[in-house]
Amino acid sequence: MQNKLPSVAIVGRPNVGKSTLFNRLIQKRVSIMHDSAGVTRDRVFHTCEWLSRRFNIIDSGGFSHNLNLSFQKEINTQVKIAMEEADIIIFLVSVIDGITKEDIVVASMLKKLTNKKIIVAVNKSDNLELSISASNFYSIGLGEPIGVSSIHGIGISELLDKIISLISNPKEIEIKNSLRVGIIGKPNVGKSTLLNCLLKDERTIVSNVAGTTRDSIDTILKIDNKEIVLTDTAGLKKNKQSLDEIEWYAELRTQLTIINSDVSILLIDKNQSITQIDEKILGILKDEFKPVVIAINKIDELSNEERKEVELEIRNKFKFAPWVPIIFISAKEGKNVNKLMKKVIELGDIRKINLSKSILNQFLSDIQMIKKPPRHNGVNIKLNYITFSNTRFPHFIIFSNHPQWVHFSYIRFIENQIRNVFDLEGIPIKISIRGKGN
């Protein structure tokens, strides 16, 4: 059995460079970095490796007693949860600002966590003089401080060495072969509520204010012995001109989530009309050949007849992707959520299909007996043979004597037959018609 990786949380007051340190440790730009306080709201997870050892690193929002800041109460709750989840806590402070009142408050909270291993990291120690000043943080009473510069990489190796020395169990193994599932959709359709329903805890901040979730958040879940990495994302907005700099980065994260996921859940609120942004999201998924399930949320009071009307409306809006399955759920009440995840896992398994040449070519012969390709200006069109590739998605390559004259309606007929014969309902597929020399 695979063991859980140890977790390391970065905590501190707002704007001390927690997200910059997080990105430096994982050597990627995952957390949004900005000079504004309160940019990181939810906990952001990633895997870090140092000296052949692996651990989870958690970025958290800035803890503050100024509850007038946007979502500060919820952020403080998330910081406390991050502290509870972590095996090791990096308490990040700033040598430029010195010891502040809020640093003392956070330090007091950490001292109460008697079972946690704590590292005081003094950020912005960019030169020798500042590194010497970092020793002033001894007075906090949490052990020897380590001077670091998240931006310039100073002291990062020493910090990582310290983390590794505090990890007690050397046998942690990363969970592999997980199914990556992205929860996507417009703002305020219930994405975080769905994630919390699946996890049965307050994993992300939930509110009725559109745009609460800004970062993409990864969480590992096990369903029927299947490891699933769920990613809750910030909602996409229609008008790019209305996005401030931070929201623009959050929208980029959502699009990256689509690209990196194996299967996506497109969440739609039944009380909101289908808009261009919903069509845009499904269009991106179709272009990327990503399996997707449309989940219609908030169906608590819908009758069966009303559900049929809603589904018909959605089918009419999404005519360009008729293969997408639709499931009605209530994330708040937990209705049909298990059915949704069963379909997600099913699509994750189907997308790995592998087909032999003999089966494919028998299929090609059979469909031409059922329906021959339409002639073009009196010339017979023949489909000679077919090959199959599934490196990223099912790709059927058919060779013809006149590929340029194979009508699009016949290609659609081939796609429908492929879905029926090989049970690929719900999976986007690609069909290429090529000549003998291609």
pLDDT per residue as tens digits for the range 262-311: 899 999 988 887 888 888 888 888 888 889 999 998 877 677 888 888 88
State the Cα–Cα distance between residues 292 and 180, nearest whole angstrom: 12
CB 140 within 8 A of CB 188: no
* Residue 400 pLDDT exceeds 70: yes
**195 pLDDT tier (thresholds 50, 70, 90):** confident
- How confident is the model over 190-208, as a mean pLDDT? 72
B/e letters for 70-81, b = 16+ CB within 10 Å, e = fewer, are ebbebbbebbeb
Axis crossing angle, helix 101-111 with helix 72-85, rounded to the nearest 10: 40
* Residue 243 pLDDT exceeds 50: no
State the Cα–Cα distance between residues 124 and 411, nearest whole angstrom: 60
Mean pLDDT is lowest, of 111-115, 151-155, 318-322, for 111-115
Token look-up 């959520």 returns 337
**392 pLDDT tier (thresholds 50, 70, 90):** confident
State the Cα–Cα distance between residues 208 and 214, nearest whole angstrom: 14
**203 pLDDT tier (thresholds 50, 70, 90):** low
State the Cα–Cα distance between residues 69 and 40, nearest whole angstrom: 13
- On average, the pLDDT of the chain sits at 81
CB 204 within 8 A of CB 42: yes
Q: What percent of the chain stands above pLDDT 90?
A: 29
pLDDT per residue as tens digits for the range 344-373: 999 988 888 888 999 999 999 999 999 999
Mean pLDDT is lowest, of 12-16, 111-115, 167-171, for 167-171
How buried is residue 391: exposed, middle or buried, by Cβ count under 10 Å (0-12/13-18/19+)? Answer: exposed
Give the single-character DSSP code of 321: -
State the Cα–Cα distance between residues 363 and 385, nearest whole angstrom: 10
